[in-house]
Structure 1
């Protein structure tokens, strides 16, 4: 999926959002009952409402577009502490075999931070601000912003 800067935008945040509610609160699903796959489905549903899906970063060029946007949005180190974003990759089906949820294709490009992915039971992929926006596998139930992409 080729990407242009104008086709990517952040459309949701699972904690406080521009709409003033948490995404899980809008769907009527309780925080405690949400498992990893449920949380991932919920993020996708928000993207789908905007005729998009969680972003797949399949090349260095695409990664540079997103990295540039995030570096501009969070220019100071203290801004990056809370600057974690979910992207559309996971290894929920098979530990260590990451794929993009939209295309079901395995990763051909990665931008992992040092030591990642680790062997822990962490199935979703986030862009982590404190690692200068490198990728990190994390438990899918954490609440972060997420990035959607229009086809």
Structure 2
């Protein structure tokens, strides 16, 4: 009979093989590998360029509440963060950078407002909610990057 620690290790092996690790500077948050840029504030396009330089893109969270909880626990209470969705290509057609459509239930009530023609980018404002707002793409705020996972 095999020693108990060898049996436990063999049973855990499939979990270890299937677990995705994150490349630095990304860390695991729920099912996603993210990096939160808290060093400099940038506009949406500059933030996207920064994320790409790290091997990612602006975040397309698999679970918005998991990301929001992490950000609230590790950030200032009134922080703002760019995420990876916009309607830059077609007004009113909100898409994530991976091409998927934005979930309507992730918007703050009354959003998107499109109060100005520049409110084409999505951010999360921790002070008011853990949901999404449309915002002028040129404002300077922090961003959340997500590692691009290659299979």
Shared fold per TM-score greater than 0.5 = yes
**Secondary structure at 1:106's aligned position in 2?**
coil
Structure 1 portions without partners, runs of 5+: 16-22, 24-38
Equivalent position of 1:7 in the other structure: 33
Moved over 6 A (4+): none
Equivalent position of 1:91 in the other structure: 87
- Does the CA contact (< 8 Å) of 1:54 and 1:88 recur in 2? yes
Structure with higher Rg: it is 2
More strand as a share of residues: 2
How many residues align? The count is: 119
- Counterpart-to-counterpart distance in 2, 1:47 and 1:95: 24
Question: Residue 92 of structure 1: CA displacement?
Answer: 0.9
Structure 2 portions without partners, runs of 5+: 1-19, 23-27
Q: TM-score, normalised by structure 2?
A: 0.68
**Secondary structure at 2:127's aligned position in 1?**
helix
Equivalent position of 1:145 in the other structure: 142
Alignment pair present for 1:100 and 2:100: no
Equivalent position of 1:32 in the other structure: none
Cα 1:114–1:13, aligned 2, differ >3 Å: closer, same or farther?
A: farther
Deviations 1:4-53 (A, max 9, x none): 516112135543xxxxxxx6xxxxxxxxxxxxxxx433211111111111
Cα 1:91–1:14, aligned 2, differ >3 Å: closer, same or farther?
A: farther
RMSD: 2.4
Q: TM-score, normalised by structure 1?
A: 0.68
